[in-house]
């Protein structure tokens, strides 16, 4: 059973058996997915979670929690901008706290 107090370092869960099971199943993959999401964001001018999922070819259901974890970890921030997502709702445009262009890395 995941440690609910370890979030965002480990996937969170609600007080339901299926939620705990899902958190257990993603626990090994979550750090890799967070790193992939962060890399995409670091090489962008800001993206919604849906846009990150699209660039990675992953389900939004796998990506959205990772973006939330990155935000709680202080690695990405709300840019203040909004764009419509696939469902037509306004979505946060996330920005990396440390963009690749500021790290001296290749773009």
pLDDT in tens, 4-23: 445 555 665 556 677 666 66
- Structure token digits, residue 35: 């790193």
Q: Which residues, other chains included, contact 74 with Cβ-Cβ below 8 Å and sequence gap of 6+?
A: 97
**Structural domain total, the chain:** 1
CATH number at residue 49: 1.10.10.10
Q: Which residue did the predictor score with more confidence, 42 or 15?
A: 42
Please tell me the distance from the alpha carbon of residue 7 to that of residue 58, in angstroms, as a whole number.
Answer: 22
Domain boundaries, position 46 = 4-103
- Structure token digits, residue 61: 């259901």
Mean pLDDT (whole number) for 17-38: 80
How many of the other CB atoms lie within 10 Å of CB of 8? Answer: 18
pLDDT of residue 42: 96
Q: Give me the percent of the chain exceeding a pLDDT of 70.
A: 70
Please tell me the distance from the alpha carbon of residue 81 to that of residue 66, in angstroms, as a whole number.
Answer: 20
């Amino acid at each position: 059973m995941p440690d609910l107090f370890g979030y965002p370092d480990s996937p969170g869960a609600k007080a339901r058996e299926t939620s705990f099971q899902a958190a257990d199943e993603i626990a090994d993959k979550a750090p890799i997915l967070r790193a992939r999401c962060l890399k995409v964001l670091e090489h962008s001018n800001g993206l919604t979670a849906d846009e990150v999922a699209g660039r990675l070819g992953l389900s939004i259901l796998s990506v959205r929690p990772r973006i939330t974890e990155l935000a709680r970890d202080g690695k990405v921030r709300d840019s203040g901008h909004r764009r419509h997502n696939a469902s037509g709702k306004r979505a946060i445009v996330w920005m990396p706290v440390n963009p690749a262009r500021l790290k001296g890395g290749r773009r």
